[in-house]
Every structure is written in structure tokens, then in C-alpha cells.
Chains A and B, each alone.
Chain A
Amino acid sequence: MKRKHKRLLFVAAGMAALGIAAGLIISAFDENLVFFFSPTELQARETRPDQRIRIGGLVEEGSVSKEADGVTVRFRVTDLTASLQVVYKDLLPDLFREGQGVVAEGKLRADGVFEATEVLAKHDENYMPREVADALRKSGQWKGQAGDAKADAPNVTETAK
């Protein structure tokens, strides 16, 4: 085999690898992109019943209750314009609190209740998850900046992870 042919072979192998990777990415994206909606946006649109989505906003004050099994939690998530009932059958994260920002991942049931499989509230009390901040800004209820974290206030911590 000549040097030129060999190079061609390697280039072909490279292209094949890239092609396969692109195919894998596209097909995996198709099913596994999780979109984020605020309660207001969710009212305005249809979602497939089996579609995994993320919702976010503030945990409505006084809305958190536990069902008789002691594990299932019910709370409402609000963007101060609309609110959404959420059920979650798991332990809440350490930083979950009423009036604080929260993001939940799960599915919207036909009865309009959001069944969460994951609740993220991994931020300190001054921090607003970015999606939540943007959602609140969209609903005109909050004037802060996206990702506003009171960057200059001496309460902000972060990790290098």
C-alpha cells in the first residue's frame, strides 16, 4: 500500500468514526433532551404524557405537605403568575425550603399534577437557579439578573468541582 492510500484509509476511518458519533448524538438527543418550562409556559403548551421535562420556580409558601405514607411530598411551584402542583415520592434535598427556588424533573400527568422523580435545590439561600431566575423575569415578577447571585455579597460560596 502506498503512503497516499494509507493516509486515505486513516482519513476514511476518521470520517467513519465521526459519522457514527454524529448519528449516535442525533438519535440520543432526539429522546433525551429535557426541556425546562416555568408553570406559566407549561399552561400554554401541550406536552406528551411520557415526555420528561423540568419545571422550576419558587416553592409556594405554606404549600408543602406530606401524605399519610410519610414519604410522598406535595408542594406547589410558582413563578408568581401561575403555579403548579407537584408530587414527589422521595426525600427532599437538604436545601429545599418554602419560598426558595427549586427545579424538578419528571412528567406532567393527565390530571395536571407534575410527578417529579428528581428535585434539585442544591443552592445556598441567596442563590436562585438560573432557569428559575429567567422564568421569574419572564413573568415580570423579578428584576434581578440571570444567575444573579449577589456576587458581591459576602455569602457566596462555590466549589471548584
Chain B
Amino acid sequence: MTAELGHYALILALIMALVQSVLPLIGAHRRDHTLMALAGPAVIGQFVFVSMAFACLMYAYVVSDFSVMNVAANSHSDKPLLYKFTAVWGNHEGSMVLWVWILAVYGLAVTAFGGNLPPVLKSRALAIQGLIGLGFLLFSLGTSNPFMRLDPAPINGNDLNPLLQDPGLAFHPPLLYFGYVGLSMPFAFAIAALIEGRVDPAWARWVRPWTLLAWISLTAGITLGSWWAYYELGWGGFWFWDPVENASFMPWLMATALLHSAIVAEKRDALKSWTVLLAILAFSLSLLGTFLVRSGVLTSVHSFASDPARGAYILGFLILVVGGSLALYAWRAPALKAGGTFKPISRESALLLNNLLLVVGCGTVFVAELYPIVLDAIDGSKVSVGPPFFEKAFAPLMAPLLLVAAAGPMLAWKRADLPGVLQRLSLAFAALVAVIALSYALHGGPIGAAIGLGIAAWLFTGAAVDFFDRIKLFRAPLSETLVRFAGLPRSALGTTLAHMGIAVLVVGAVAGTAWRSETIAVMKPGDHAELAGYTVTLTTIGESKGPNYTAQIAEMRLERDGELRGLMYPEKRFYPVQGTQTTEAAIRTTWFADFYIALGDPDEASGGVGVRLYHNPFVPWIWIGALMLVVGGGLSLSDRRLRVGAPSRRRASAAQPAQAASAGGGP
């Protein structure tokens, strides 16, 4: 009964989406306030019905209703409760419902926080969101209905892939989707602005926090996925430049660009049509990410099976959305009036350069992502593009980006004093040279790694210098410094923290890739292995039993200079329901390096067990840097002036007298 209820709710949500997308659009065109006002109830209705469907599906999982095919395929009665919940989105059908649900939440947010928005803009944006929802609901109901029944119902289910039964991956999809779908917000408003033919600072002020929110969840989601791959796949790597990873990385790059260009659009009323274009591209790449991962087009270390028929639908949808919005852009963008002017040396120019490099960098990833698919379609050749490609083609584009990132916040709007800024960057330059020399002297290359670390030092120092200048540390009495610190806008604090976070992350990624060391050994209890100055001794191998698996656990002593640094317990788990194994690596971190042990198969000949040891310098800094990005983004988001949905009329007119009429908007 629950499944039928959920199915029914999904159909009602489809009807609501139809109402939400068509009527307000007509209303906005005719300036008919009654029709426009229908968007509100439709949004609430859609939220209620999608929530109902989602709850029904969740209920079916929690009570292990195996007469529902989706549950039978992805769950098992012995599975821990947490993974019964997370299995809802651990599969294709359920994750589509999650997608639509998050979209409905964002729609609700527009109606809840958008009280100050001009009604025409608001109803058009809601209609665009309705159209996206319509597309996904049709997809869900037509090709991937999660409420399909199974008759006769099996006694028990097939279980969720054991690799996915992990806290890191349990929350990776919702965060990632929250980011993907969050980019529908700037997209919907970009389309609405194009229809209207006007982009003003009030528009940018609305779009910025939502982009930031989407960006924060994308960052967190990608990091969580990378962290999962690091400890669960047992390869000691954190990023494989794998097509599925790139699919989420491209929208992140584009969202980062959008985040920066929206600042210019808001503060300086410039780069408006460029910002609109970025909003369209960012969401298009989100859709592409969904399409690439869902269609089975990609072969990847992470990809599991999926169905080409669904891919055909999403491809059609993608062409419609991307092609349609780009055509609209080509038609309407010239109508957007150019705003504030600026000199080539200015913060606007620095942000534009940031955008240029991010978009071109995203382009290289895009080419590498699609080239194998296109080549396969043309002549059936199968190629893959590996990490060396990205080290050669992507990294050189990011180096100037990070150089500019240190200078950008120091440059004034409109026209900046270059010699002055260069002088302020002298300490950063010293750090750059010192770190390159030092790391080259200590490790002797690769030279690219030394340069990468130098650039990270430059960015970190530059961000720190800018921050200290702002609060006049050591230049003014401490009391003034404290007052200045308290008065610093949180968005400035967020920028500093996020830029430092990027620097920290780059150190982790560069050093972790260039200077990792590994060794493989077959060990019996009592055997030793050496790596990076550490000695590892296998003491015992034991068996243990989990709720739905059995495990082989080794106890390893980690010693350095004869001194015990810790006991490590790598595991090999066996899940009988699916007959698969997973590797649970043991990781001991000093915050400057990880010591990583993964257990392999038992070696029958010698009676030992295969062991893979890694020493990964600076890898923990990746997670620290990503955390700084997320916290920095959160700080910015909490800025009073940037609070979600605060296109306050009073502030807008106070800040931008010339724009008062349009910025204030409203009736």
C-alpha cells in the first residue's frame, strides 16, 4: 500500500510541476498577478507530494518491504538501520527521487525567502524550476520508477553493494546532489533575467548566496567522495582523475567561477551577461554530471551498472535544457546593458582573469571527459585519459589562477595601484622562492611539485598579509586591531579562509601525489616491513563478525626508531549476501603524513597475507584545506549583507542610488 501511495504522490507532484511551470510563465508574460501567484501553492504542493513519495520509499526500506523491487535489489533485512536509510539514494531510482526532492526544497526556499523579489522575476524563476522538476519527474516515473512491485516477493533482498555501506559514502550523494541541484537556483534566475532582459545588482545579490550554498555542498560532497575513495578502495590514492570524479569536478569549477563573477555583478554592476552565461553553464554541467554517471556511458573505477535507455532520455533532456538556454542567451544577452567600467589593473580584471582560467581549466577537463566517448562513437576505438594528462594540461592553468588569487583581494575596484600591490606581495614572493628552493633541495623534484608547493606558499602568505593589513596587526595598538577584526565583514574573513584553504589543499594534493611511497609484502605473524623510516610488524591475524559480514583483522605495530607509534588494524571484510569483499584500510595520521595499511588476500603457499603499505605525506592537509573552504564559504554565507534572500530594498537603494529603481524592484 505504501508503495502505491508513494507512486500516486509522485504523479501528483508531476501535475503540480506542470502547474508550477506553465501558469506562472503565462502570468508573468501577461502581468497577470493571479496566475503568477499560483506558483506559490504549486511549489508547496510539489514539496508536499515529493516529500510524501520520498517518505514512502524510505518507509519501504526501513521495514524491508521486499515486494518493492527497488528495496529487494538494494537492501537486506540484516543490514544496519543507517544503511537502510542511505540505501534509499544508494541506487539509481531512489537517487532520482532525492534529486527531485532537493529541487522541491529549493523551490520552497524561493517562496519562503523571496518576499522581496520582484514578482515577475520570482514567478518566472519558479516556473523554470518547475520545468526542471517536470523533466526529472517524467524521467523518474517513465524510466525509473522506484515503486515497482515484485511478485512474488523474495524472502530477502540483494543487499546494498558493500562498498557503499560506509558512512563517508552514505552522505556523499545527498551533499553532492544538494550542490548539483542548488545550481538550478542561479540557472532559473539567469533564465528569468534573460526573458526579462534585465540583470541588476538586486539579481546578483539574490543569486550570490544561493550559488555559495550550492558551492559549499558541492565542495563538501566531492571531498567526502574523495575521502571515501582514499580509505575504502585501499589504493592509498585520493583522486584518480576518473571520469565520474571529473563529472562532479566540472560543475565545481564552473560554480567557483560563477561565485567570483557574481561578486562583480553585485558590487560593480559589470560582467552581467558573463555571469548569466556562467550560471547556465554551471547548471548544464550539473545535468551533464548526472547524465554521465547515470547513463553507463562512462567506464570508471567507481561506476556500477546502469541502463542506456535512461541515458537517452537524459541526453534528450540535456540537449533541450542546454541548447534551449544557450539559444535564449544568444538571443537575449545583447539586451543586457553593460554596467560599470574598469581598468585592466583592477579587482574586476583579476576576477575576470580568475573566471577565464577556471572556465578554460574546466574546458580541458571537459575535453578529456568527452573525447573518449566521442572517439568510441566515431570509430569504436577505446581510449582512456589518465592522471598524467591532467598534470600536464590542467595544472599549468591552475598555477596562474592561484597566483592571481593572492593579488585579487588586494586590488582596488575599478582602478588599482599595481606597484603598491606588488610591494605588499613581496613577502609572498619570498615565500614562493624559499619553498621552491627548499622543497627542491630536500626532495630533488619533480620540479613541478616544488613549483606547486611554492605557489601554495605564495597564496597562503598573500592571503595572510592581506588579512593582517586589514586588521593592522602590529601596526596599530592591539586594541585597534581587535576592533578592526570585529568590524571585518564576515565575507572578507570567508575569502581569506577559503583562499588559505585552497593553498593548504594544494600542498596536500601536490606533496601527496609526488612524494608518496609504497611497498608490498607478504607477511606472516612476526614479519617486519620497512617504509619511509617506519617499521611495521604483523603481530596477529584474527577473525571477527559484523552485523552482515565477517572480517579478517590484522594487528600491526607501527614503530619508528624502535619506539611504538601505534597499533593499526587493517581489515578485509567479506559480505556473504553479495559474495563480495571490501578493504578497510588502517590509517594512522600525524597531520603531516598518513601511514596507510591495506590488507590483501591470504597467500596460501606461505601462509601469510598480502599487505600494501603507503606513506602519504601531507594528505591530511587535503581534508583540512577542504574543511577551510567549507567553513570559509559558511562564514561568507553568514555575512549580514549576504544573508540568503536579503535583497533588501533599503540597503539596495542606499548602496546604489543610481540603481535604486531597478534594484529595489517590486511593485
Contact = CB atoms under 8 A, between A and B. Distances in A.
A80 interface: no
A91 B598 contact: yes
Interface stretch (B18-26, B123-131, B186-194, B299-307): B299-307
Contact of A149 (B296, B582, B608): B296
Interface in B330-360: 341, 343-344, 352-353, 356-357, 360
Contacts of B158: 154-155, 157
B522 A70 contact: yes
Nearest to A156: B305
Contact of B520 (A27, A52, A90, A105): A90
A91 B305 contact: no
Contacts of A6: 341, 343-344
B522 A71 contact: yes
Contacts of A20: 360, 396-397
Given A32-B386, A92-B600, A120 B304 contact: no
Nearest to B159: A157
Contact of A131 (B225, B382, B397): B382
A1 B349 CA distance: 15
B70 to A, nearest CB: 8
Interface residues of A, number: 62
Given A54-B382, A159-B173, A70 B608 contact: yes
Interface in A107-130: 120, 122-127, 129-130
B164 interface: yes
B305 A126 contact: yes
A158 interface: yes
Contacts of A31: 388, 392
A14 B580 contact: no
Contacts of A159: 90, 161, 163-164, 169, 173, 302-304
Interface string B391-413: 01100110000000000000000
B441 interface: no
Find the residue from A28, A34, A52 having the highest chain B CB count within 10 A. Answer: A28
Interface centre among B73, B176, B305 (most CB of A within 10 A): B305
A71 B383 contact: no
Contact of B603 (A34, A70, A123): A70
A134 interface: yes
A82 interface: no
A27 B344 CA distance: 31
A124 B578 contact: yes
Contact of B356 (A14, A35, A120): A14
Contacts of A3: 341
Interface in A1-58: 1, 3, 6, 9-10, 13-14, 17-18, 20-21, 24-25, 27-29, 31-36, 52, 54
Nearest to B69: A154
Contacts of A156: 73, 304-306
B172 interface: yes
Interface of chain B: mostly helix, strand, loop or mixed: mixed
Nearest to A130: B299
A95 B608 CA distance: 20
B612 A90 contact: yes
B306 A149 contact: yes
Given A157-B90, A158-B92, A161-B173, A18 B305 contact: no
A147 B382 CA distance: 14
Contact of A155 (B73, B371, B522, B605): B73
Contact of A134 (B95, B173, B382, B397): B382
A147 B307 CA distance: 8
A21 B363 contact: yes
A29 B386 CA distance: 10
B579 interface: yes
A154 to B, nearest CB: 4
A157 B173 CA distance: 14
B273 interface: no
A66 interface: yes
B299 A129 contact: yes
B305 A28 contact: no
Nearest to A26: B393
Nearest to B396: A24
A131 B90 contact: no
Contacts of B360: 17-18, 20-21
Give the interface centre of A1, A92, A147, A149 by most chain B CB atoms within 10 Å: A147
B308 interface: yes
Contact of A160 (B176, B344, B380): B176
Contact of B383 (A1, A35, A157): A35
A94 B582 contact: yes
Contacts of B160: 157
Contact of A25 (B308, B393, B520): B393
Given A28-B389, A149-B306, A94 B583 contact: yes
B304 A24 contact: no
A134 B379 CA distance: 13
A89 interface: yes
Interface string B211-245: 00000000000000100110000100000000011
A124 B73 CA distance: 13
A153 to B, nearest CB: 8
Nearest to B384: A34
B150 interface: yes
A120 to B, nearest CB: 6
A158 B389 contact: no
Contacts of A69: 522
B388 A32 contact: yes
Contacts of B605: 66, 68, 70
A91 B392 contact: no
Contact of B74 (A34, A103, A157): A157
Given A124-B305, A161-B173, A161-B244, A154 B72 contact: yes
Contacts of B157: 154
B388 A161 contact: no
Contact of A28 (B164, B303, B388): B388
B172 A71 contact: no
A22 B339 CA distance: 31
Given A54-B384, A154-B157, 9 more contacts: A1-B344, A21-B397, A122-B302, A124-B304, A124-B578, A130-B299, A146-B308, A147-B306, A161-B173
16 contacts: A24-B397, A25-B367, A32-B388, A70-B603, A92-B601, A94-B234, A122-B302, A123-B305, A126-B305, A131-B299, A146-B308, A149-B305, A157-B90, A157-B158, A158-B305, A159-B163
Interface of B: 69, 72-74, 89-92, 95, 150, 154, 157-158, 160-161, 163-164, 169, 172-173, 176-177, 225, 228-229, 234, 244-245, 248, 293, 296, 299, 301-308, 341, 343-344, 352-353, 356-357, 360-361, 363-364, 367-368, 371, 380-386, 388-389, 392-393, 396-397, 520-522, 578-583, 598, 600-601, 603, 605-606, 608, 610, 612
Interface of A: 1, 3, 6, 9-10, 13-14, 17-18, 20-21, 24-25, 27-29, 31-36, 52, 54, 66, 68-71, 89-92, 94-95, 103, 105, 120, 122-127, 129-131, 134, 145-147, 149-151, 154-161
Per CB-CB distance, the 5 closest pairs between chain A and chain B, nearest first, are A149-B305, A70-B522, A36-B382, A91-B600, A160-B173
